[in-house]
């Protein structure tokens, strides 16, 4: 699975959030693509989109939407001939995710809270875009108040963000376990001696727990069927 | 009441809709302000905003939002020091209206219709902006499929658009009658002879009808009070 991250931020070099996310995005199947002030090469942008399975719009929320550079990219790159399902339909079946960074707590975006509107309400234009282009919309990935996060929170953010970029089936527990096992196995390939053995044991234990859980779920399903 | 129309359209000279609206907007209290590709003069833009009582964002809907030029204007001009109520609060109490032109029928913007989402859903970011800046949001003014409109429809559009720009209390019947009487009186100032007398009679008739209607409403109110 190939992931393309389209990053819209007017001062990328000064954003600690984006610097952190860029470092966390390094993966052979992930492409970091930051928009800048240069004129867009439409054919080049469209080629990148065709190659991707998961397309991420990543931006800080400015006035309840993405910065102008992303809108300019949409207006320029997503031509009718390329994107409309009745015409090119180049994005049909691809995934669309939003990575939104907030200067305020995420809890401020709710009815009755200071911002009054939820992020699900504010991102309706992107929901409409995905619907029109027959893309599958992913739940948004929210990074709020990065500067106030503890080191532990940042480590969790790093793992969650990597999962958001690379885990094939997001939002499913099975997918999560598979993803963790694959990642740990990849790390272990670079270890040796006792470290390697210890990590191998951990991986086995995770797999065993997962198998046990599956067995329990099967039993539960049988019991439920017996009740009907 | 001063009205400022901020027009965001990448090809203004080629848009028949915008050409029509511009011709219809001519009024000493209305300022037509089209955004172009030149760098924004932030102080100049802010001065225009301060002078206005009603601020209109006017644009064609591109990918379910305004063109990038309006977003760039928002991100650049609406600085915290200028606009946030706790800081400058320069827009507190002003009105915000949206004039949105659509290539498709307005009825396509509804659950179950081709676009699935309503314009009230798609414009949530502007609702949030108005809420944050303590502005009063007006109902949006929609111009759909201008090219397919009959001459009669276009005349109606012209009157409705002029009302949207200049009628002080939008959405109230009283305001509407006052507005029409004022407009007719202004036209009549340039007439003479029998034309002037005829128009004066029409104005009198409208005022009389309005007085009769008010009398009926008062009677109705009294009857209702008697019931309680």
Predicted confidence at residue A181, as pLDDT, reads 81
With beta carbons under 8 A apart, name residues in chain A contacting B77: none
Burial B14-25 (b: 16+ CB within 10 A, else e): ebebbebbbebb
Mean pLDDT (whole number) for B85-107:
97
A216 touches chain B (CB under 8 A): no
Burial A79-112 (b: 16+ CB within 10 A, else e): eeebbbeeebebbeebbbbbbbbbeeebeebeee
With beta carbons under 8 A apart, name residues in chain B contacting A63: 71, 74-75, 78, 125, 129
Lowest pLDDT segment from A127-131, A165-169, B161-165: A165-169
Q: What is the value of pTM for the model shown?
A: 0.86
Is A64 in Cβ contact with B68 (below 8 Å)? Answer: no
DSSP string, A214-227: HHHHHHHHHHHHHH
Radius of gyration of chain A (CA): 20
pLDDT for residue B125 is more than 90: yes
A&B contacts, CB < 8 Å: 83
Is A115 in Cβ contact with B64 (below 8 Å)? Answer: no
Contact status, residue B45 vs residue B73, Cβ threshold 8 Å: yes
A27 touches chain B (CB under 8 A): no
Least CA distance to B80: which residue of chain A?
A: A63
Rounded to a whole number of angstroms, the distance between the first and last alpha carbons of chain A is: 41
B125 touches chain A (CB under 8 A): yes
Other residues' Cβ atoms within 10 Å of the Cβ of residue B215: 10
Q: ipTM of this model?
A: 0.85
Q: How confident is the model at residue B13 (pLDDT cuts 50, 70, 90)?
A: very high
Mean pLDDT (whole number) for A192-214:
83
Q: How confident is the model at residue B173 (pLDDT cuts 50, 70, 90)?
A: low
Least CA distance to A73: which residue of chain B?
A: B68
Predicted confidence at residue B109, as pLDDT, reads 98
Alpha helix (H) residue ranges in B13-150: 16-24, 42-51, 68-77, 80-83, 119-122, 124-132
pLDDT tens, residue by residue, A86-124:
999 999 999 999 999 999 999 999 999 999 999 999 999
A88 touches chain B (CB under 8 A): no
Q: How confident is the model at residue B48 (pLDDT cuts 50, 70, 90)?
A: very high
Averaged confidence pLDDT in chain B: 92
**Cβ-based neighbours of B132, under 8 Å, separated by 6 or more:** A115, B84, B85
CA angle B93, B90, B170 (to 5 degrees): 30
List, in sequence order, every beta strand (DSSP E) within chain A: 3-7, 30-34, 54-60, 95-102, 136-137, 141-144
- Window 58-77 of B, Cβ < 8 Å to A: 62-69, 71-72, 74-75
Distance from the A81 Cα atom to the nearest Cα atom in chain B, whole angstroms: 14
Q: Tell me the C-alpha distance between A66 and B77, whole Å.
A: 16
Q: How confident is the model at residue B63 (pLDDT cuts 50, 70, 90)?
A: very high
């Amino acid at each position: 699975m190939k992931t393309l991250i389209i990053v819209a931020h007017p001062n990328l070099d000064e954003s600690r959030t984006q610097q952190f996310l860029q470092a966390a995005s390094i993966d052979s199947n992930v492409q970091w693509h930051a928009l800048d002030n240069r004129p867009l090469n439409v054919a080049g942008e469209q080629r990148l989109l065709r190659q991707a399975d998961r397309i991420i719009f990543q931006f800080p929320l400015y006035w309840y939407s993405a910065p102008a550079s992303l809108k300019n990219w949409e207006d320029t790159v997503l031509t009718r001939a390329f994107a409309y399902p009745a015409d090119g339909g180049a994005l049909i079946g691809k995934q669309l995710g939003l990575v939104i960074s907030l200067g305020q707590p995420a809890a401020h975006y709710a009815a009755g809270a200071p911002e009054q509107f939820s992020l699900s309400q504010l991102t309706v234009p992107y929901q409409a875009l995905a619907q029109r282009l027959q893309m599958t919309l992913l739940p948004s990935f929210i990074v709020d108040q990065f500067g106030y996060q503890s080191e532990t929170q940042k480590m969790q953010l790093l793992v969650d963000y990597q999962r958001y970029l690379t885990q094939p089936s997001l939002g499913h527990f099975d997918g999560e376990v598979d993803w963790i096992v694959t990642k740990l196995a990849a790390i272990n390939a670079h270890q040796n001696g006792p470290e390697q053995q210890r990590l191998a044991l951990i991986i086995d234990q995770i797999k065993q727990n997962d198998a046990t859980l599956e067995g329990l779920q099967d039993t539960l399903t049988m019991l439920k069927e017996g009740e009907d």
